[in-house]
Amino acid sequence: MAAAVVTPSGLEDGVSRSRGEGAGEVVVERGPGAAYHMFVVMEDLVEKLKLLRYEEDLLRKNNLKPPSRHYFALPTNPGEQFYMFFTLAAWLINKAGRPFEQPQEYDDPNATISNILSELRSFGRTADFPPSKLKSGYGAHVCYVLDCLAEEALKYIGFTWKRPTYPVEELEEETVAEDDAELTLNKVDEEFVEEETDNEENFIDLSVLKAQTYRLDMNESAKQEDILESTTDAAEWSLEVERVLPQLKVTIRTDNKDWRIHVDQMHQHKSGIESALKETKGLLDKLHSEISRTLEKIGSREKYINNQLEHLVQEYRAAQAQLSEARERYQQGNGGVTERTRLLSEVTEELEKVKQEMEEKGSSMTDGAPLVKIKQSLTKLKQETIQMDIRIGVVEHTLLQSKLKEKSNMTRDMHATIIPESAIGSY
């Protein structure tokens, strides 16, 4: 089947991504089941999350329900699916050894998606699709992002697959119903062995042996005399034979471990396989011929398409080379822009400080509040000066009156001293 080289944006065209690819271009194969590939990726994602123990570390701590096998493959509730998507993505990034803050429900979704994609690119994974594809919370791109993050988390914790251990299956023995009235061959052997062991364990005593021999001889002689004249009824004898006959029957129990049973089973299976092969061989031959013709048609069509699109492939490769060169120049220019942006921010901060100082000085120069305060202070000083002048005038007037009164008192005292002397001389 023809293979094409595309980026993750090719998932929109219904192509299936080959797993285990790293950074750069990814090889995908087109087929009739490509539209259902995201269901397979989603099932793999659930298994990887179980290996990372997300039920104990994430779901129980945040009181979340475990997602189903096709949770992110089918649209159910976009808001809930998007919340589960960025919660799982943040947890997987932290599991992969990168510090990533858990987004909140009311954060900007565009910023959250851009942060997740930047972390994905930092792992060396490609993400050449618009971020709006992740806003819905479901689809092939959501499954792809979470699957890549889960693989990086498993790589970080050093997870490796171990050799499988197969349980040992014990063959169950078939139980055969035994009748109590029937004696099995095994029971007969066991009784025979027990009798032999009992005889071996008994000690031989000569005196006892002679006495037993004597008694046996006497009993045999008596029995022989009794046998000569039988008193048993023939009808009773036949009834006794019919009663005891089932007990004398010996059955052999089948054992599943016997090689004869295995051989019989092998012959049965062989005959079944041969009969089934006769029916299916014709169908398989017909299917093989149809597949061969289809592959030949596909190969010839592929060669024709490759010949027709050779110049387009060359143009595409040239465009890819130009795109890589343009990206390198963009990265270089982006670095210079970042440095100049930093310098511009510093100059802007200094300019803002100078403007603030100029505004403060200008406001202090044009503000009339200090002048009004000075005028008010002068008016108040004038009022206080007038009051002080009035008080000074009052004090001077009081002082003048006191001086005049004192002078009049002195004059009166002087006249009082002169008058008595003249009066005394006249007498």
Contact 70, 39 (CB under 8 A): yes
| Residue 112 · residue 82 · CB < 8 Å | no
Q: How do residues 324-371 score in pLDDT, each as one tens digit?
A: 999 999 988 888 888 899 999 999 999 999 999 888 887 777 767 778
Measured CA to CA, the distance from residue 75 to residue 62 in angstroms comes to 23
CA angle 158, 160, 164 (to 5 degrees): 155
Residue in 105, 147, 104, 100 with CA at minimum distance from that of residue 127: 147
8 Å CB contact between 138 and 72? yes
pTM value is 0.36
Core vs surface per residue 255-266: b (16+ CB within 10 A) or e: eeeeeeeeeeee
Q: What are phi and psi of 183, to 5 degrees?
A: -100, 130
Closest CA to 28 of 47, 46, 12, 39: 12
**Which residues in the chain show pLDDT less than 50?**
1-29, 172-185, 188, 192-193, 196-204, 424, 427
CA-wise closest residue to 141 among 320, 13, 5 = 13
The amino acid occupying position 362 is G
- Domain ranges for the chain, please list them: 35-157, 256-333
Write down the pLDDT at residue 246.
Answer: 79
DSSP per position, 205-255: -HHHHHHHHHHHHHHHHHHHHHHHS----HHHHHHHHHHHGGGG-EE----
Whether 20 contacts 161, CB under 8 Å: no
> Beta-carbon neighbour count of residue 421 at 10 Å?
8
Tokens of 156: 């970080």
Q: Quick one: 83 exposed, middle or buried, by C-beta within 10 A (0-12, 13-18, 19+)?
A: middle
Nearest to 126 by CA among 268, 277, 17: 17
CB neighbourhood size of 281 (10 A): 10
- Tokens 């440095």 correspond to 339
Reference 129, options 5, 3, 11; nearest CA is 11
Q: Are the C-beta atoms of 144 and 8 separated by less than 8 Å?
A: yes
Q: Provide the 10 A C-beta neighbour count for residue 114.
A: 13
Q: Which helix (H) or strand (E) holds 272?
A: helix 259-308
Quote the pLDDT of residue 413: 86
CA dihedral for 388, 391, 392, 393, sign (positive or negative) = positive
Separation CA 183–CA 181 (nearest Å):
7
Which contacts qualify for 190-198: CB closer than 8 Å, 24 or more apart? none
Residue 124 backbone zone (phi > 0: left; psi -120 to 50: alpha; other: beta)? left
246 CB-near residues (< 8 Å, 6+ apart): 179, 181, 182
